[in-house]
Copies of this chain bind each other. A is one copy, B any other.
């Protein structure tokens, strides 16, 4: 306790602009620090070269920009690699299934056991190595972005587990019907956290909040690298993640997302997927007359329908979340036997979608990508049924015993509950792509209906599928950017306005009566201290005055404290900033001292004979973040996350009442929402 802990050195320097003048703290970059190790000379030469390289790089722009670029490139590479592996696994399944043509029983086992095993393996693997790695990850990421620390969620082990688990989930294909957006946002924040550490190691002048800035950027890169859609990727993450967006993070976000999207698409070109950079789900809508002006009304109607259906889906999802918690059997199964549960559920889902069973009515042989491309087809399926030539997508969606109208309706009805069940799977999985696809099917149905009713015009049902996908996924996540995403992944800019109109109206329906979004429901279910979500279930929560909920008063020091009192405080508290008051009677807050300075003070007091008071040795830092007990929780929360302060001091008429840090805030929110 007599000296500063080694790990704190840089930390102290960052926090304390004035301290440490009379104390020699070795604040050099770790690259420069000398140590007795072998190969002194080669090491010295390498070090010199590295330093030269660093100054070369640093001359162009700050080291963090290389970090942002690397983040984009790395995430895109991970995304590409995942797509490649998943495609191979899916092909293997399809090949096996085709080989067994003729023997229905073997085909049934092949169809059901493959995804069941994958899910069971993925679930067990994630559970054993990193139990938090299941689910989407978006609720946790946005809680971290507010300011709460959740160190387990950013480890490299977690990255590895989530990556492998996600491959298993995606390889289970359209049977399990889950996507990769959410986990990818999480994966990219993990990559970001790792790169941020690396940057800090290399950087000469450390920036405060470097990690948090990197995480904000990483959240945007995740979506961008998933689809090669830089603009909507960033906007989606802005909408989902934050309630206030700082514009200074706008350029880093777009820079990194552009790097990511570019890399993702270039990989696709180099792997022979196309001659040039193009949209992921490229469509070919007629360019001359994309839609009639009055069709805007139909798009608006589609938006309302999507909004209503999304409310139904979200309701079922919330009930399912509650059921898995309250039902004792399920709850036990989900805590101890995740693999068994995942395997069983995947098996059941596969049974339902077996092509010789219900699957034949719901185009279950398609992969997720094929499903989406088929739904965005620009030709009218209704008019094709009369002709002899039938387009490829239609042939999968219709058969003599089930016209495509029936198939689409059946698909929508079945997938609704199948998806709700799939969402309970304890595997790393994204929930955005399935709703995007579901919306496309809903849009297709409305579009085909419209084409049938207004048969004298040339309505393009693919446009409705696009708008439906945007509207439905927007309604489920309470965002608008899926409208732009739908445009970016299909490359159809002509339908931007219809998609936006549909998404706006769907959002209007979905957000009415303060309904929580999909991610809000997950946050609430996981009891994460995310105020914007908690607001939805406890509307009075944000306006509760801080004074009412303040916990036990924390430690404090008086100005004239001696070594004994300081030692006491150092032992009893772990805070980095300790408030100093005038005297224990008056309680007037003067400022704070840093824990590191207290340790130095104790060190000095042991070596010196003359006993000194606290204010004679330590620098009492002025308070910069002050609130009164009448401030609401919402205000305290905003100030903490906006000003970026670590500690908020609560004073009433100048007297210290308490202090709020992020862990304290977490406790307050958990206490207040205990009964949910």
Contact = CB atoms under 8 A, between A and B. Distances in A.
Please list the 8 inter-chain residue pairs (A to B) with the smallest Cβ-Cβ separation, ordered nearest first: A654-B654, A622-B630, A493-B493, A245-B245, A588-B653, A258-B500, A269-B293, A623-B628
Nearest to A278: B494
A660 to B, nearest CB: 14
The residue among A492, A496, A655 with the most chain B CB atoms within 10 A of its own CB is A496
A133 B501 CA distance: 34
A486 to B, nearest CB: 11
Contacts of A480: 250-251, 254
Nearest to A503: B254
B642 A258 contact: no
Interface in A232-290: 235, 238-239, 242-248, 250-251, 254-255, 258, 261-262, 265-266, 269, 275-279, 287, 289-290
Nearest to A65: B508
Interface in A611-658: 622-624, 626-632, 635, 638-639, 642-643, 651, 653-655
A292 B278 CA distance: 10
Interface string A303-329: 000000000000000000000000000
Contact of A276 (B254, B291, B638, B654): B291
Contact of A287 (B242, B287, B289, B629): B287
A507 interface: yes
B488 A493 contact: yes
Contacts of A179: none
A487 interface: yes
Interface string A579-599: 000100000111000000000
Contacts of A630: 622-624
A645 to B, nearest CB: 9
A447 interface: no
A420 B38 CA distance: 64
B258 A247 contact: no
Contacts of A289: 275-276
A247 B239 contact: yes
A348 interface: no
Nearest to A293: B269
A18 to B, nearest CB: 12
A504 interface: yes
Interface in A473-500: 480, 483-484, 487-488, 491-494, 496-497, 500
A555 interface: no
A230 interface: yes
Contact of A635 (B238, B287, B624, B631): B624
Contact of A247 (B244, B266, B501, B639): B244
A653 B589 CA distance: 6
A78 interface: no
Contact of A626 (B248, B582, B627): B627
B258 A589 contact: no
A367 to B, nearest CB: 25
Interface residues of A, number: 75
A231 interface: yes
Contacts of A639: 639, 643
Given A266-B293, A628-B623, A488 B494 contact: no
A628 B635 contact: no
A280 to B, nearest CB: 12
Contacts of A231: 483-484, 496, 500
A68 to B, nearest CB: 11
The residue among A243, A497, A508 with the most chain B CB atoms within 10 A of its own CB is A497
A61 interface: yes
A87 interface: no
B254 A500 contact: yes
Interface string A516-551: 000000000000000000000000000000000000
B624 A589 contact: no
B654 A244 contact: no
Contacts of A61: 508
B277 A497 contact: yes
Contacts of A626: 626-628, 651
Given A244-B244, A624-B628, A251 B507 contact: yes
Contacts of A653: 582, 588-590, 654
Contact of A654 (B239, B292, B501, B588): B588
Contacts of A569: none
Contacts of A494: 278, 491
A492 B623 CA distance: 53
Contacts of A291: 276-277
A202 interface: no
A296 interface: yes
A61 B582 CA distance: 54
Contacts of A484: 231
Nearest to A295: B276
Nearest to A269: B293
Contacts of A261: 497
A231 to B, nearest CB: 6
A258 B488 contact: no
Contacts of A629: 622
The residue among A239, A243, A258, A624 with the most chain B CB atoms within 10 A of its own CB is A258
20 contacts: A230-B496, A230-B497, A231-B484, A231-B496, A231-B500, A239-B250, A243-B247, A244-B247, A251-B480, A251-B507, A262-B296, A262-B501, A278-B494, A491-B494, A624-B635, A635-B643, A638-B643, A639-B639, A639-B643, A654-B655
